Amino acid sequence: MGTVGIIGLGLIGGSFGLALKRAKLADTTVIGHDRDNRRAERARDAGAIDRIAASQTDLAREADLVVLATPILPMRRILEEIASHLKRGAVVTDTASTKKSVMTWARDSLPDHVHFIGGHPMAGKEKSGPEAAEETLFDNRPYVVIPSVNASEASVNAIFGLAELLGGRPMFMEAEEHDAYAAAISHLPLVASVALFSMAHGSQAWPELANLAGPGFHDLTRLASGRPEMAHDISLTNRDNITHWIDRYIDELLRLRELVDRRGDEDENLFRTFVETQLARDAFVANPPVRQIPGMAVDMPTPNDSLVALLAGGYAAERMREVTENMESDIRDRQQERLRHRSD
């Protein structure tokens, strides 16, 4: 049907490829490129991509859908470099953990005939590289979809459908909104985790502390084992939101410190805080959001029409519609016919 090109073949790019393969889209080729060609080879050997593109511009020339799955900061340069090589009507998406910067870079770099839709599959683990990739990584995870102003409705629907196809729970959001929420629920935990480990490790008592460390310390510091590039790029592209949430976190720590430090009467408030937090968290854990697919008993969604159209070259038709407004109805009819033909 078409070609998907993944740039960056680490944990996320590799999992993207594997999840796409799991969906078994007919006649779809997945190509990939990585700055580190050995990593690209490992991703190919793991089955995440069918073939390695010799360069990212080669990939851009061939792909109907381009997925950026590198660390965040390099995406700026990549967008600039692939811009003039992208096919007319191509759809470009990304997987960055912060969205405002990438949306700006895409707007500044990409030509009008390309549709950029930001994406953030909110999944990950502390291991990196294509060896750590899993076809189930996105299953039931939030997948934030952020259309650029100029993206066509069909391209937006295609990415929304793709997010579902990968197993995720797609949801639309503004870039600013995403970055504010992600700072609280994802980036602050990362900073809190790094701070806890570096504090303990920096202590003179570290040998004794390490010897006594249990599953609690292990879990709370897990995020500190993530890729430093990721933490760094997130911090730089979401500075203000992150510092805001660090401040709120410190306020909350000081509130608890006060409760711990006071004597007598305050014990009740401390106990009440622990009880309320436990109840709230247990309720949260007991009712995790899950993807609802109406009328479907099986796990695997079928690709939506927009995704089919994208990979079927429907985008070429759509692009023409943008050029010649008066041909619009004709093309639509043809497109419909083609889809009808295909579903026969």
In the complex, minimum distance from the CB of residue 62 to a copy of itself, in angstroms, rounded to a whole number: 33
Question: Where does the chain have alpha helices with state H?
Answer: 11-22, 37-45, 56-62, 72-82, 100-109, 153-165, 175-182, 188-202, 206-212, 215-220, 228-237, 239-261, 266-286, 305-311, 314-323, 328-343
Cα–Cα distances in angstroms (integers) from residue 194 to residues 98, 182, 206, 225, 247, in the given order: 19, 17, 15, 8, 16
| Residue number, 171 or 320, with CB nearest to a copy of itself | 171
> Is 245 exposed, middle or buried, given 0-12, 13-18 or 19+ CB atoms closer than 10 A?
buried
User: What CA–CA distance (Å, rounded) separates 215 from 113?
Assistant: 52
In the complex, minimum distance from the CB of residue 159 to a copy of itself, in angstroms, rounded to a whole number: 18
| Residue number, 274 or 332, with CB nearest to a copy of itself | 274
In the complex, minimum distance from the CB of residue 7 to a copy of itself, in angstroms, rounded to a whole number: 22
| Residue number, 196 or 320, with CB nearest to a copy of itself | 196
Cα–Cα distances in angstroms (integers) from residue 2 to residues 26, 193, 314, in the given order: 9, 42, 10
| Residue number, 218 or 340, with CB nearest to a copy of itself | 218
| Residue number, 203 or 324, with CB nearest to a copy of itself | 203
- The letter for the amino acid at 116 is F
In the complex, minimum distance from the CB of residue 160 to a copy of itself, in angstroms, rounded to a whole number: 16
In the complex, minimum distance from the CB of residue 86 to a copy of itself, in angstroms, rounded to a whole number: 30
